[in-house]
Amino acid sequence: MADDQRETTKAGESTADPGTGDARPVRGSTQIGRLAVPMVMGEIVGYLTMLILVAMVGRMGGQALYVRSLFLPLGMVFSAVNAALAVSAQVACSLSKGRETPEDVFPITVSMVKVWVILGVALTAVLSLGASGFADLFNVPGSARQDFVWFLRWMSVVSLLGFGPALCASALRGFGFARQALVLTLVSSAIEIVLVAWLGLGTGLGMHSLPIAAAACAAAGTLAGLWLLRRAGLWQQGQRAPWRRDVLGHIKSVGLPVGATLAIISLYSLALIWVLGPFGEATVAGFATASAVQTLIIMPALVLGSATGIIVNQQRGAGSYERLVPTYRSGIALSFAVFAVIAVVTFFGRDAIAHVMIGDAEADAAVAASRYLAIVGLTYAVEGPVLVALTLLEHIGGGRRAVVLNLVYFGGNVVAGSWACAVLDTPDGLYWTVAISNLVSAIALAAAAGFVRKLVADHKSTQAAAC
């Protein structure tokens, strides 16, 4: 525990060397990197867990994979609300770290759980009671209808439990304990994979094992998360957890924009599939594959933005506003270095990436995926830092500005891309639209910098008025 506490000193102004315990000032990029590395590893573990589960479900036979695929867009509603509240908790805990008030973490966590229970129960009721209606909406055939209705109802109930591990991990990250949050992710993922493999494949329970595994994973993850909070000194024995009204403010300024962004991205993905539909199945399959690769590619940007937000919020909590602009610059500079490498690797490795993802059986789809990466790949050098800036905005109260920028970017891609495809009669019209938009979106860097400077100016004005 002592080593963990040395990771993040007051407001991130100095950080001890984890190996020597020697406290000395460190660069902003180093602080961000120390947080980001375990966070990236956690995201990769989550991504791999999803792929492993899909692979195992595909081997269960029957219509297991089909039923789970139908559940995914509905399950994303839970994921969006989960993410919105978890990020809000992370921001609140980051501010508490800066204020050096670890006793606030547990009340914040419990208050977020209360909000989740209200929202989660409402979502569960809608999905459970409307299961038959969703089966009609998705045109589920009679042979799979009963399984789909059963799966949707049970998974919606089990999804209520999934907030526990996510909330504990967010609280740990917000206070600087990113490695402990990674341990929590590893424990949860391992339990879910082992149970699905044992129950679903080993005992022949099939898709019925998924709700059981998810429930056990959530319960074990929550217990592990609470233990880690206790070990980190963020939850004292016998500590009371009074209602924190400020969590509603964090949900409004942080959670709602995060949820809105996730909704926009979901609609954007569907819209692009619609735009590319006339060009055939191979084009749509290739684009979908390239999009899956892109999701993995941009993951470091979202994590770097989150890590930068943690440091900035810790500094805000401590009143160290003079450090906000240098920290923002450090986060953006680090992201440019990371994504310069990612962009080059993606561009020159596009054929190999497409082959690994698709294989030889769908050669036309592989060509389509490679074509998208050929046109868009190098622009990740700019788009990565832009995503860092937008994520940071969401975490420091500039969420509305981030939502507007996202609407302009995604909406512009759909409208201009559709027009370009119609004029050129080739999917390249959309791909070039995305590439150009990625470069033009660099304006978001200036927008984020302006908001950070506004926070500093507002703080100075408040101080001057107080004097």
Label residue 416 by pLDDT band (50, 70, 90).
very high
pLDDT in tens, 109-136: 999 999 999 999 999 999 999 999 988 8
Average pLDDT of span 143-170: 91
Statement: residue 191 has pLDDT above 50: yes
Instruction: Please determine, for residue 302, whether its predicted confidence score (pLDDT) is greater than 60.
Output: yes
pLDDT for position 277: 86
Taking phi over 0 as left and psi of -120 to 50 as alpha, with beta for the rest, 125 belongs to: alpha
Same domain, 75 and 182: yes
Does residue 13 form part of some domain? no
- Contact predicate 259/80, CB 8 Å: yes
Burial letters 64-74, b for 16+ CB under 10 A, else e: bbbbbebbeeb
> Sorting pLDDT into bands at 50, 70 and 90, what band is 392?
very high
pLDDT for 27: 63
Work out how many domains the chain is built from and give that number: 2
pLDDT band at 11 (very low <50, low <70, confident <90, very high): very low
Q: What is the pLDDT of residues 232-259, one digit of tens each?
A: 999 988 888 899 999 999 999 999 999 8
Domain of 310 in residue numbering reads as 254-462
CA pair distance 191, 212, nearest whole angstrom: 11
**Model confidence over 431-451: pLDDT tens digits?**
999 999 999 999 999 999 999
Shared domain for 190 and 261, answered yes or no, is no
| pLDDT interval class at 454 (50, 70, 90) | very high
**What single string gives the DSSP state of each residue in 119-147?**
HHHHHHHHHHHTHHHHHHHTT--HHHHHH
Q: Is residue 24 part of a domain?
A: no
Q: Which percentage of the chain shows pLDDT scores above 90? A: 63
Extract the tokens encoding 444.
Answer: 């978001």
pLDDT of residue 26: 55
Is 32 a member of any domain? no
Per-residue pLDDT at 17: 37
Q: What is the mean pLDDT of residues 373-397?
A: 96
Q: Are residues 236 and 265 in the same domain?
A: no
Say whether pLDDT at 5 is over 90. Answer: no
Is residue 176 located within the same domain as residue 295? no
Q: What is the pLDDT of residue 362?
A: 61
CA 96 to chain centroid, in Å, comes to 22
Reported as a single tens digit per residue, the pLDDT across 267-276 is 888 788 889 8
For all residues of the chain together, what is the average pLDDT? 88
Assess whether pLDDT exceeds 90 at residue 223: yes
In a domain, 371, yes or no: yes
pLDDT of residue 58: 80
pLDDT of residue 355: 84
Check residue 162 and give its pLDDT. 87
Region label for 204, one of left (φ > 0), alpha (ψ between -120 and 50) or beta (otherwise): left
For residues 426 and 341, state if they share a domain: yes
Last residue of a domain, one of 244, 274, 299: 244
Pull the structure tokens for residue 390: 């937008």
How high is the pLDDT of residue 14? 42
- Please give the helix or strand (H or E) that residue 48 lies within, else none: helix 28-58
Which of 244, 262, 279 marks a domain boundary? 244
Residues 54 and 201 grouped into a single domain: yes
Q: Is the dihedral of CA 404, 406, 411, 417 positive or negative?
A: positive
pLDDT above 70: residue 23: no
Please state whether 25 falls in left (phi above 0), alpha (psi between -120 and 50) or beta.
beta
CB 369 within 8 A of CB 290: yes
The string of pLDDT tens digits covering residues 275-291 is 988 888 788 888 888 88
pLDDT digits (tens, 9 = 90+) for 76-103: 888 889 999 999 999 999 999 999 999 9
What is the Cα gyration radius of the chain?
23
203 with 296, same domain? no
Model confidence at 359, pLDDT cuts 50, 70, 90, reads low
Q: Is the pLDDT of residue 22 over 50?
A: no
Looking at the structure, tell me whether residues 219 and 170 fall in a common domain. yes
What would the mean pLDDT of 313-323 be, rounded to a whole number?
94
* DSSP secondary structure code for residue 62 in this structure: T
Q: Do both 107 and 160 map to the same domain?
A: yes
What value does the mean pLDDT take over residues 16-33? 56
Distance CA 170, CA 175 (A): 9
- Least confident interval from 4-13, 41-50, 309-318, 370-379: 4-13
My answer on whether 46 and 123 are in the same domain is yes
Per-residue pLDDT at 205 exceeds 80: yes
User: Do residues 424 and 375 make contact, with C-beta atoms less than 8 angstroms apart?
Assistant: no
Contact 89, 116 (CB under 8 A): no
Are 72 and 179 members of one domain? yes
